[in-house]
Amino acid sequence: MAINEIRIVVVNGGAEKKAKTPEQLAKDEAKMKNKKLAGSIKSFTDPVDAAKDKITGKMSPSAAMATTMAIQVAVQFSKQAFNYYVSDIGRKSGDSNYQAIVNRRMEIVNDVMGVGGAMATGAVAGAMVGGVPGALIGAALGGVSSAINLGFRQAERERSYAHLMFKENNNQAYNLARASYTALTGRLR
């Protein structure tokens, strides 16, 4: 009786599984490194989405969407409720100037929170790529970027105010000249 050769074939999804050569293993490892690099690049180009992917990556899509929407609604509700309360202070006191002061203080708080949020987003993005040093660099870059935007917005506001005051002063001077207002002909107030 002859001895028959027995061969065992492992089938995975209809495809025969073969042992990988060292060259194929090296190619697979290079592909994985490229995938990690692509993830790192994504965290730089869109840090908010990268952070969301890290947080919601292990959730089902419906749970991730529900969590994201719940957080957004809670933040929006708290901001709007606070704004509604603060925007009524001037009407209650009858002082519109006081309301303008309160609105300006609220804007300052929002600006500071915006810079802090930008620093936190930068820190998260940096931490995903480079650990603690990356987080520090990301926070610094996020803060600088937000501060630059804030500085230019304030400079534009100052320029707009200076132009408004120039127009009002010219208008006042024109009206006084047209009325021929002088110390001798006009009424002193």
Span 95-153, pLDDT tens digits: 878 888 888 888 888 888 888 888 888 887 787 777 788 888 888 888 888 889 888 98
Q: Show me where the domains of the chain are located.
A: 107-180
Check pLDDT > 60 for residue 51. yes
Contact present, 93 and 100 (Cβ < 8 Å): no
- 3-class secondary-structure state, position 12: strand
Q: How confident is the model at residue 14 (pLDDT cuts 50, 70, 90)?
A: low
> Shortest CA distance to 147 belongs to which of 123, 122, 106, 112?
112
Residue 10 to residue 33: CA distance in whole angstroms: 28
pLDDT at residue 165, as a whole number: 94
- Highest mean pLDDT (candidates 10-19, 33-42, 76-85, 141-150): 141-150
Q: How confident is the model at residue 167 (pLDDT cuts 50, 70, 90)?
A: very high
Find the helix or strand (DSSP H, E) in which 176 lies: helix 96-178
Locus of tokens 């009786």:
1
> Shortest CA distance to 129 belongs to which of 121, 120, 138?
138
Backbone angles phi, psi at 16, to 5 degrees: -75, 130
pLDDT at residue 183, as a whole number: 67
Angle between helices 47-56 and 61-86 (to 10 degrees): 120
Find the helix or strand (DSSP H, E) in which 86 lies: helix 61-86
What is the pTM assigned to this prediction? 0.46
- Other beta carbons within 10 angstroms of residue 146's beta carbon come to 20
